[in-house]
Amino acid sequence: MKYNFNVQGMSCEHCEKAVSRAIRQLDRSADVQIDRAANKVEVDSSESAEVLKQAIVDEGYTVVD
């Protein structure tokens, strides 16, 4: 499934990597595309939206619905 998350708080490249890593820890085959300027995180994963969202939140970022 493809998901689009609006993620607040990614201020630098390190944040992008942290979000990306958190998602890949759940799903090693997940495809993660991040557009930091647009606060956009696009994920193609077999995990559910809820689980992915929680991983981003646990990393310290805010997911806006």
**Residue ranges in contact with Cu ion by CB under 5 A:** 11-12, 14-15
Do 34 and 40 contact (CB within 8 A), yes or no? yes
> Shortest distance, CB of residue 32 to Cu ion, whole angstroms?
16
Q: Pick the closer one to Cu ion by CB: 2 or 14.
A: 14
* Angstrom distance (rounded) from CA 62 to CA 65: 10
> Shortest distance, CB of residue 12 to Cu ion, whole angstroms?
3
Q: Pick the closer one to Cu ion by CB: 43 or 61.
A: 61
> Shortest distance, CB of residue 1 to Cu ion, whole angstroms?
27
Do 45 and 53 contact (CB within 8 A), yes or no? no
CA contacts within 13 A on the Cβ side of 26: 24
